[in-house]
Amino acid sequence: MTSPRSQHGPDSRRFKDWIRWLFYPGSKRVFTPEEMARAGDQPWPYAIDHYLYGNAVLLLAVFTHEMPRGMRPGIWSGVLLTAWASLAMAHALWRSPTRKRLNLACWGAGAVIAAVTLPLIRGNWREPVPGLPLLVAVMTAVLSGWWILTIYRVDQIEGRLRELAEQDAALRLQTRLAAAQIQPHFL
């Protein structure tokens, strides 16, 4: 009798693993509302917000002289709006770190970037087109950040659930041992 794995061969499994991480990354673990209430109560670290906004403003200030004069307010607004939207999605992933939510966010961000940049490329706005590789690099960093945040958060919640389960088991054992000391014939 052959196993299902040997029927498809080892290359088939490697291909599926590669496809899973490329097209549908993230943890398969989905937490129940009870698990989230029990172990997912850590607040969002707001220092991340301050760090991201501070870096965005600092980089915009440094590179303002390289921006086309007429587009500076639009670029500043677009970058700050993108930072806000990226953080809003990061907050949502922190509250519910699911694979589905991560992938919807990633594919949605890609669709928004395509919807914004394709008309620029086809239209008369050829001047900002050389900045598109930078935009792609920034969005790759944002999507990677969401992915890392989701993996970190899932690991954090799983670790907390394990810790709480171990504490419960130790408490049950202590209670049982305490009862056994009071009534030794029950051991």
Return d(Cα 82, Cα 182) in angstroms, integer: 64
CA 99 to chain centre: 9
The answer to whether residue 62 scores a pLDDT higher than 70 is yes
The answer to whether residue 105 scores a pLDDT higher than 70 is yes
Average pLDDT over residues 92-103: 92
pLDDT in tens, 175-184: 888 877 777 6
Question: What is the structure's pLDDT at 187?
Answer: 54
Question: What is the structure's pLDDT at 11?
Answer: 59
Question: What is the structure's pLDDT at 14?
Answer: 64
Question: What is the structure's pLDDT at 1?
Answer: 45
Higher pLDDT, 25 or 91: 91
Average pLDDT over residues 114-143: 79
Question: What is the structure's pLDDT at 3?
Answer: 47
Question: What is the structure's pLDDT at 70?
Answer: 85
Residue 77 DSSP SS3:
helix
Helix (H) or strand (E) holding 103: helix 99-122
Question: What is the structure's pLDDT at 46?
Answer: 93
Q: Which has the minimum average pLDDT: 43-47, 124-128, 148-152, 158-162? A: 124-128
pLDDT in tens, 133-174: 888 888 899 999 999 999 999 999 999 999 999 999 999 999
How many Å from the N-terminal Cα to the C-terminal Cα in the chain?
48
- Half-sphere CA count of 3, side-chain side, radius 13 A: 5
Domain ranges of the chain: 43-176
Return d(Cα 148, Cα 111) in angstroms, integer: 21
Contact 138, 52 (CB under 8 A): no
Say which DSSP state 130 is in.
G
Contact 6, 83 (CB under 8 A): no
Question: What is the structure's pLDDT at 126?
Answer: 63
What number of other Cβ atoms are within 10 A of residue 160's Cβ? 16
